[in-house]
Amino acid sequence: MEKVQEENPKWFGTFPYAYMNGSLHLGHAFTISKIEFAAGFERMRGKRVLFPVGYHATGMPIKVRLLSHGSD
């Protein structure tokens, strides 16, 4: 196991997730595609890549969106 870890170092990539208070736009895809490209490149180089997807469903921006559009 140690030999695998020495030969294949770790690489961690993450990206800022989109807030839930707005609509999706091209900027979201651009941000995600850059880190996906980098993760794929590092995998091809033999690194052990961890690329988690962040998710955030709480906070003030969501409350403001709810209050401005009303709740059904």
Give tens-digit pLDDT for 17-26: 666 666 777 8
Beta bridge partners of 48: 10
In terms of Cα–Cα distance, which of 55, 41, 48 is closest to 12? 48
Residue 45 · residue 37 · CB < 8 Å = no
Q: C-alpha distances in angstroms, 53 versus 8, 17, 64? A: 22, 8, 24
Domain coverage including residue 26: 2-69
Residue the block writes with tokens 């690489």: 11
Number of domains composing the chain? 1
For residues 46-51, average pLDDT:
89
pTM, two decimal places = 0.60
Question: CA–CA separation, 39 vs 9, rounded Å?
Answer: 13
